């Protein structure tokens, strides 16, 4: 019976989450309940409970995690100061003559907004409110418009800099060190958040390019699905396009380059770069004359809300992992993965499938801090590259959040889409984008250098 306790524990946590209880409180409450039961029946060592306060303190003073509120502040400021809305209008001018130009504009704006926040729900809802009415008014087929918006909203999982990559980079780094220490390497190599950022650039740009090319070819092959914009909706002169670029695209892109470039070139830590991004977002809002006390207050409140959620989940996940290890769950997982036929390939596939399925009921923060610390050291000890593993997990989660019928991105867009748009149209619209993401994962599996080459060059 004792060997089944970790499985029972994990199932109860998942069922409680599916019942709708808050994630942080579920992880904490169920974990402590099982720990109490385990101590009563003599199946749990209380030493694992006494370690929890030190681990929580380590989270609270972790310098890398200080980047989270700063990145949230940056993304929220870009949204609340209407910079994203202006960016969409200006991009529509730039791509006005291109088939599917409005859809391509939405992809570019969504990429920048997603990269600055990394919160799927916030990006999908914001882009749905800003772009869906415009695309419907322009005559876009609802399935294409909804599929483009849902897919674009999930780009925050893979486009750096984003909260997802910050958190995933921290966990992968710890797992990599643990796997080396377990192997007797007491001078372990390090993988930084910047390495994960660098590894995500090429796969992320491939994905964005595929999205844009898909919308372009749909518009060329079937103009009824993505009609060209009316000439009256944009100025066709070169001067107007240049002004639109200067006003719309260059400032936020320059901000992203400053943030990401300072990390990749080793000029700043992720936290320092995030502070540059937060300050830069304030400057852009000031230049746009869109900064007010009301905007600053709303941005601060949203930053506090998201950051509190992240840290509460971190605390809950820490308690969960401590109790899970106390029941020997980590050893159970290790035995299972190491004894699979097919070795590291089968083990990696099973882990990816588990993460994909859990993505239907858990957000990326819970999966990052619940699952990755348990399976990461095992896969890394089997020879899996840490940067490749982090990128694959990010794309896998992105695919899960987009896959019908349970993908989070679909529900977020459904909440802001007009009633006349059927849920089936949303589901149908995302299928090509899901196929593109699956194809990218297969390509990464066959060519890992797409994720590992750039970090190696920059080291």
Rg (CA), the chain: 23
**397-415: average pLDDT:** 84
Predicted local distance difference test score (pLDDT) of residue 103? 87
List b or e across 204-232, with b for residues whose CB sees 16 or more CB atoms inside 10 angstroms: bebbbebbbebbbebbeeeeebbebbeee
Between 125 and 431, the more confident residue is 431
CA pair distance 107, 129, nearest whole angstrom: 15
Predicted local distance difference test score (pLDDT) of residue 209? 93
Report yes or no: 28 and 321 within 8 Å, Cβ to Cβ: no
CA pair distance 65, 68, nearest whole angstrom: 6
The residues near 67 (Cβ < 8 Å, ≥ 6 apart) are 166, 193, 270, 271, 273, 274
Q: Report percent pLDDT > 70 for the chain.
A: 93
pLDDT digits (tens, 9 = 90+) for 78-107: 878 877 777 777 777 777 777 888 888 888
Q: What is the pTM of this model?
A: 0.85
Report yes or no: 65 and 273 within 8 Å, Cβ to Cβ: no
CA pair distance 348, 353, nearest whole angstrom: 9
Query: Whose CA is closest to 395, among 439, 345, 456, 344?
Result: 439
> Average per-residue pLDDT in the chain?
84
pLDDT at residue 386 greater than cutoff 60: yes
pLDDT digits (tens, 9 = 90+) for 408-444: 788 888 888 888 888 888 899 999 999 999 999 999 9
What ranges do the domains of the chain cover? 21-458
- The least confident of 147-151, 152-156, 449-453 is 152-156
Predicted local distance difference test score (pLDDT) of residue 309? 83
With residue 453 as reference, give the H or E element that holds it. helix 449-458
């Amino acid at each position: 019976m004792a060997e089944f306790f970790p499985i029972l524990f994990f199932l109860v946590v998942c069922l409680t989450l599916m019942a709708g209880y808050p994630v942080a409180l579920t992880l904490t409450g169920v974990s402590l309940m099982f720990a109490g039961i385990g101590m009563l029946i003599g199946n749990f060592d209380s030493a694992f409970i006494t370690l929890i306060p030190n681990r929580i303190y380590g989270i609270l003073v972790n310098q890398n995690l200080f980047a989270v509120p700063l990145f949230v502040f940056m993304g929220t400021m870009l949204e609340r100061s209407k910079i994203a809305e202006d960016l969409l209008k200006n991009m529509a001018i730039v791509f006005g003559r291109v088939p599917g130009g409005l859809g391509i504009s939405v992809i570019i704006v969504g990429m920048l907004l997603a990269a600055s926040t990394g919160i799927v729900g916030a990006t999908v809802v914001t882009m749905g409110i800003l772009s869906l009415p415009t695309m419907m008014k322009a005559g876009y087929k609802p399935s294409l418009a909804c599929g483009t918006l849902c897919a674009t909203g999930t780009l925050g999982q893979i486009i750096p800099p984003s909260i997802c990559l910050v958190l995933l980079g921290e966990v992968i780094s710890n797992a990599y060190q643990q796997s080396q220490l377990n192997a007797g390497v007491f001078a372990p190599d390090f993988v930084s958040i910047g390495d994960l950022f660098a590894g995500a650039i090429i796969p992320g740009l491939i994905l964005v390019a595929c999205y844009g090319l898909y919308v372009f070819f749909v518009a060329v092959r079937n103009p009824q699905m993505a009609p060209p914009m009316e000439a009256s909706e944009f100025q066709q002169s070169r001067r107007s396009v240049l002004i639109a670029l200067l006003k719309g695209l260059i400032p936020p892109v320059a901000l992203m380059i400053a943030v990401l470039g300072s990390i990749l070139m080793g000029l700043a830590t992720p936290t320092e770069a995030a502070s540059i991004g937060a300050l830069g977002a304030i400057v852009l809002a000031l230049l746009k004359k869109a900064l007010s006390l009301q905007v600053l207050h709303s941005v601060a409140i949203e930053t506090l809300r998201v950051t509190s959620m992240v840290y509460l989940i971190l605390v809950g996940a820490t308690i969960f992992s401590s109790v899970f290890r106390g029941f020997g769950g980590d050893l159970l997982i290790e035995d299972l993965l190491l004894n699979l036929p097919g070795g590291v390939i089968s083990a990696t596939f099973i882990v990816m499938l588990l993460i994909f399925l859990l993505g239907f009921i858990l957000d990326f923060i819970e999966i990052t801090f619940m699952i990755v610390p348990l399976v990461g050291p095992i896969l890394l000890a089997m020879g899996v590259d840490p940067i490749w593993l982090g990128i694959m997990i990010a794309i896998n989660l992105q695919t899960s959040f987009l896959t019908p019928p349970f993908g989070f991105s679909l529900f977020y867009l459904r909440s802001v889409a007009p009633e006349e748009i059927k849920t089936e149209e949303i589901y149908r619209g995302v299928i090509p984008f899901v196929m593109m993401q699956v194809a990218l994962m297969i390509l990464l599996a066959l060519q890992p250098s797409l994720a590992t080459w750039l970090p190696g060059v920059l080291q």
